[in-house]
Amino acid sequence: MGFRCSLKIKRQEKPGAAPYWQTFSSEAGGEATVAAALREINDRTPLTDLDGGRAMPISWECACLQRKCGACAMRVNGAPRLACSAFLSEFPGGEIVLEPLGKFPVISDLTVDRSVIFERMKQARLWLEEKAYLSGRRHEVSYQSARCLMCGCCLEVCPNFGAAEDFGGALLSVNAYRTLEQSSGGGHKKEMSEAYRKLYFSGCGGSLACHQICPLELPVEELLLRSNAVAVWGR
């Protein structure tokens, strides 16, 4: 039996344009994901909304569709999620509301400009300038740091993050750990630590809203504490 639901989507033609809402029906199976429903809707010819009006294809990002890239991050019924891992069966009420992430500039519909994430990484100087120092004792923690998809879900719920601000949020701290830990020391590690204190430590309010929202369930709190220990306390 088909699983019928509706997708109410916040749409915006281009940057600066007025947003509006448009609703589409979906008869994808209950085990289908929001991503699958969006693809099914966009495959329709002609594409019409729930009221029968003509509609342009919905703009959204995807790549792997297997929770590996983070490209399909959006707000699903108010919470930041990956569309590829949000199943229609999770929403028994039948209406699913989709919005773009609110902390980033909208490009079109559900597609946002997350380039600020990578700018913060560059500002934090998160690269090695010497041979990596690998500690077997902390290898598992470094691996967890490397799993971050940089999807932006943790930044979406952070009360201190804003695309126009310097604060890099938990995403920066999580990714900083393995680089700081693998650095053997010297001037560049000092530069990384100073940038970390400016771009993360001095701006974090400690709400830990980021801890529960990660779609991969990374040990965010542990990684924040470990990054602080290396960059701030020199441990």
Tokens of 5: 């639901």
- Residues whose CB is less than 8 angstroms from the CB of residue 210 and which lie 6 or more positions away in sequence, other chains included: 154, 155, 157, 158, 169, 170, 220
Give just the sign of the alpha carbon dihedral 160, 163, 164, 167: positive
Q: Which three-class secondary structure state does DSSP give residue 99?
A: strand
Q: Give residue 234's pLDDT.
A: 79
Q: Give residue 135's pLDDT.
A: 67
Question: Which band of pLDDT confidence, cut at 50, 70 and 90, is reported for residue 134?
Answer: confident
Q: Give residue 144's pLDDT.
A: 94
Indicate whether 195 pLDDT > 50.
yes
Q: Which long-range contacts (CB under 8 A, 24 or more apart) does 91-94 make?
A: 91/5, 94/4, 94/5, 94/6
Q: Tell whether 73 and 20 lie within a shared domain.
A: yes
Indicate whether 2 pLDDT > 80.
no
For 138, 178, 220, the CA distances from 135, given in Å and listed in that order, are: 6, 10, 20
Q: Give residue 133's pLDDT.
A: 77
C-alpha 233/C-alpha 145 separation (Å) is: 19
Q: Tell whether 127 and 39 lie within a shared domain.
A: no
Give just the sign of the alpha carbon dihedral 67, 70, 75, 78: positive
Indicate whether 29 pLDDT > 60.
yes
Q: Tell whether 167 and 83 lie within a shared domain.
A: no
Q: Give residue 3's pLDDT.
A: 65
The domain of 47 spans 5-112
Indicate whether 5 pLDDT > 90.
no
**Boundary-marking domain end, from 75, 91, 112:** 112
C-alpha 155/C-alpha 141 separation (Å) is: 21
Q: Tell whether 166 and 72 lie within a shared domain.
A: no
Q: Tell whether 142 and 72 lie within a shared domain.
A: no
C-alpha 95/C-alpha 23 separation (Å) is: 9
127-154 mean pLDDT: 88
Q: Tell whether 12 and 101 lie within a shared domain.
A: yes
Averaged pLDDT score across all residues of the chain: 93
Question: Which band of pLDDT confidence, cut at 50, 70 and 90, is reported for residue 91?
Answer: confident
Q: Tell whether 187 and 199 lie within a shared domain.
A: yes
**Boundary-marking domain end, from 95, 112, 129:** 112
Structural domains counted in the chain? 2
- Residues whose CB is less than 8 angstroms from the CB of residue 121 and which lie 6 or more positions away in sequence, other chains included: 168, 172, 175
Q: Tell whether 139 and 82 lie within a shared domain.
A: no
For residue 177, give the CATH number of its domain.
1.10.1060.10
Q: Tell whether 121 and 207 lie within a shared domain.
A: yes
Question: Which band of pLDDT confidence, cut at 50, 70 and 90, is reported for residue 87?
Answer: very high
Reference 115, options 125, 104, 124, 126; nearest CA is: 104
Q: Which of 77-81, 89-93, 133-137, 196-200 has the lowest mean pLDDT?
A: 133-137
Q: Tell whether 119 and 227 lie within a shared domain.
A: yes
Q: Tell whether 144 and 75 lie within a shared domain.
A: no
For residue 83, give the CATH number of its domain.
3.10.20.30
Q: Tell whether 94 and 120 lie within a shared domain.
A: no
**Boundary-marking domain end, from 90, 112, 134:** 112
Q: Which of 81-95, 157-171, 186-200 has the lowest mean pLDDT?
A: 81-95
Does a cis peptide bond (omega within 30 degrees of 0) precede residue 46? Answer: yes
Indicate whether 1 pLDDT > 60.
no
77-98 mean pLDDT: 92
